Structure 1
Amino acid sequence: MRKVWKKLRKALNPYSVRGTMILSFMLLISIIVLLVSLVSYYYTMNDIESISINYTVRLLGEINASIDSYIDNMKSMAKVVVENKDVRDVMAFYNRHHDKRLSYIEEKELERLRANAAAHMNIVANTRSDITNIAVISKYKDVVLSDVEKEVNENSEFNVTDWYLKPMSYKDEIVVSPSHVQNLVSGEYKWVISISKSVLDPETGEVTGVMVIDLNYRSIEAICENAQLGKNGYIYLIDRHKNIIYHPQQQLLYSGIKSELVEEILKMRDTYLRDDVNNRIYTRNYSELTGWSAVGVVNVDELIKDKSSIIDFYFRLAGISILFAMTFAVLISTTITNPIKMLENTMHEVEVGNFDVRSEIELNNEIGHLSKTFNVMISRIKDLMEKTVRDEEEKRRSEIRALQAQINPHFLYNTLDTIIWMSAGGKNDEVVEVTSALARLFRTSISKGENLVTLLNEVENIKSYLTIQKMRYEDKLSWRVDVPPELLGLMTPKLILQPIVENAVYHGIKMSQAGGEIAISARTAGDRLTITIADSGVGMTAEQLEQLFVPRPDTDRGIGVINVNNRIRLCFGEEYGLHYFSAPGEGTRVEIWLPVIEGGDEDDV
């Protein structure tokens, strides 16, 4: 027993990460309460949802009963109209005298019958505000309107509608049409529901025409809107033929902006259908009298909102459990994460380059041991980095000095040759001028030992060089320098122009029979200085351009160009250096990309 207790105390040691994690997991027991609350909530929600669905079904039944009563009244009115003697007589008159020329007496008789029939229909129409029009139409398309001041729309195609065709075939049936736009009356295009019935000849019983009553949505709309199904819930009516009889957003449906589940509703066997895509519940109640189905649409979120008072207890219990869980979690996690956070902050300092920082965590656990190991590691890294920086700096300086040294002997040999043949030719003045230019050139190249000089220094240097070359090649070579005075104070690496210009002379101008010109210019764009050396020599092929920066010790070009490019990149980085543009017979343009460095930054690089 003592051994077990000892092991338990060791496992629950609050000074170890392991013990802290065990205590944290023990707090998860509080989640059990939350799970029980959620399960209870789930079953309660299902029960309340079933209650709400049953309530909606009963409500739809009451709506159907009200609509049945309303339609039954309208059918009674339809019978009153079609059984009126004047209505029957006027339809019989039209059938007996179809395609016959009327006498004066017959015209007067027809006028009297139309007036009597219209007066009767107008009385019926005025009994209800939801009747927009009553009309009788003979089977030969003769129309009598209830309102004598209105005219028949000559372009109306009522003869192809169900409300006209069905009564013509089924004389004992009262037809109730789906909602549609009625255009029987000229200038009127109203959304209506039409109730129609055949008109029979009182003597022969033959169908002589059709009576139609057009109803607006006021009564049906009032019945459906009085039923509250939440803020966004609504009710619509469909018949067994998938026609929507009434919908609160009828125009959106017919314009295609909105759609409804019709086939799914008619096929449903249960009392409700859940639409998980739109988060809705559909319920349906069918009327035997009208053949219509009243469909209720309820938003599930609103349903849950209405149930909130019933499940308030479960949310309170869950809230209290979460509150306790959060309190314990904060306390425990703070104890665990504070030392780790301190160590993390120290690591961030090292990440940005501060190797003098040290972790000050002094704990007798794994984090404390990690902190001590981290401090030792940082000290060693700092020593290694300082040694690496010193070695790399010395290596870089040595490389720059070696690259720069490779340039000077190459030009000296060529210039001495020039002085020799000029002296042999007795050109003493020219010898003096060339010797002076050479002296200025080497004085600039070796003075002070700086690696950065002003652009003015480089321009004067290249002018001395081109003066020497002009003496050698005479009329075959011309040159010009176009550098804005405000740029002459900027700093450049020493001796970067002379190797490029030398290449232009020996591999561009010299190789051209007609000679050529070398133009030197400079410009700045943002934080970049671009120096351009362009010659009108023989140019280079694409293959020569590709091989330009490939070291080739057996050629002159392999020395100057590569060394200048390497020196620039060693000083400033890979985004700077030389860029060549050339084509055979079109000369060569070299752009030297450098950072803009003001004249005050002349320190050794």
Structure 2
Amino acid sequence: MRRHWGLRRKFVILFLVFITLPTVLFGFRVYYQSSVSLNKQAEKDLVSKLEKNEQILLSIIKNVESMTSYMIYDQDFRTFFTTAEEEMHRLEYKNAVKGINGYFTFQLMSNEYISSVYLEGKDGHSLRFGEPIKGNEGRLDRVAEEGEGAPVWSHAYRVTSDWDGEKYLISVSRIVNDLNRINDPIGKVRIRLDSSKLFKHLEANASTQTGHYFVVTMQGDVVIHHNPSYVGKRYPDPKLTDWAINGELSSYNYETDSGNYLVVKKRLEGTNWISVAVVDEGELVKELHNVQGSVRNMVIVLFLLGMAGFAFFYQSNVKRIIALTTQIKQVENANFAASVDVNSSDEIGKLGMQFNKMVQNIKRYIDSEYKLKIKQKESELKALQSQMDPHFLYNTLDMIRWTARLENAMETGQLIEQLSKVFRMNVKNDNMWVLLEDELAYIQAYLELQKSRMGDRLDFSIVMDDRVKGHLVMKQMLQPLVENSIQHGFKQLPRQGMIYIRCYQANAQLWIDVIDNGWGFQTEDKTNDRHTGYALNNLKDRLNIAFGEKYGLVPLDTNEGAAYRLVLPLLNEEKLKEIQKETGE
């Protein structure tokens, strides 16, 4: 069907396929890659945010736990914890309390997130530092006792501060054991952290980060969150909470009525807390709008430039060719008044001038000759053709070649010489076996003729190993493969077609590879021209009959184009006679 398409349709399809479609696909490709890159960068930033906040939080936890561990070894704290109530008037005790007061004053001023500190001695006497608070911490005492000297972190719980009113605190409680008798408790310590101030400390660089960060317990209660109303309560999204507690993957994409979110999590070592970072994918879409606009503008500009180029080329070339085609049809209908307007000296203009000149010569010739004389000449020509034998045609071609050289038409002479070689190979003998070098000479002459016809659209390379010289092969067995590449592999190929032929010895066999960089071999063409497909099938059958299933035509894997390998025996005259005897030739 494509061979019957007009030039206008072909050019429109060419414009759509090779200009419009690639431009649109390129635009979508850029947009897609930008989307993927932004999403990957968002996930990377989110993980970085999680890790950074985790490091800060773990550093705080370690620092606070170190304070409680310091109390076990420091003499002032040991004096406070072990002094009986009736001995609190002693100077040693008062100096110890003074040292403890200085220590915690420094800690409270250095760490704004520390709300208060509570110390309780063995006999029940206590010290308090920081803001005064009221709240039920009985459960924390029981949990600390169960910890048997290990620091135990609480969830967020509500208290009433004499300074700020109601707020949520996080505390670490610890039973302080005797340094020398490690199983004997001598006191208790509780260090309280302000949840809101702790979050602000973690999010000190929030303006440079994407998304938000929060911490929940293994039971799903919020410990730290940018929204203070969430702290101390169950996280409001059960689906997200369940994934944070039980999910195996460290990242998660989930949808809510408010949008789509990317979430990452990590368990905080030494606690029953889980840190979670969330980013709204809708924020990423906003960043994509600029990319999308740039891609859209680029596609529009490229499309308009393509349309302008299409219009210019159509007006300056295609339209003139269509006009020339129309006038040729007029000549076909015996209208010898046909003529084309020539307003350019380019190739199409020269073609138009030659057409006008040809029509005038034909008209003049018809006017000067009688139909009877024309018929007589046709009869004489037919008689002459019937008397020509192949050797006469070959000799005539040779004479024309030398005449062309004498007239300095070197290219024409070379073409006639190549055609003579091809013709001589066909009429040389009826034997189906030829030397490999003769077969390669024939195919080289054939390719030279095709190259002259196709110009820069075709090139070829033929390489032969010296070890395979003098071996016999089937006559014209390479031509079907080469024809298949040219007629099908290079059809509408947007680059120069290249055919590689290499002959060498391998595994005690003769291997001939025919490789092209076209669309690939299509041995069953769906057009009316089935010659090449039949020729390939015929070649396979001939090789199979002559040499058996061990030899034949083998397709090769290739990233570009197509490739076949002829696997043949290394034939000399003696082996050929054996094969001919077996096949009955």
TM-score, normalising length: structure 2 = 0.41
Computing the radius of gyration over CA atoms, which structure comes out larger, 1 or 2? 1
Tell me which of the two structures has the higher relative contact order, counting C-alpha pairs closer than 8 angstroms and 6 or more residues apart.
1
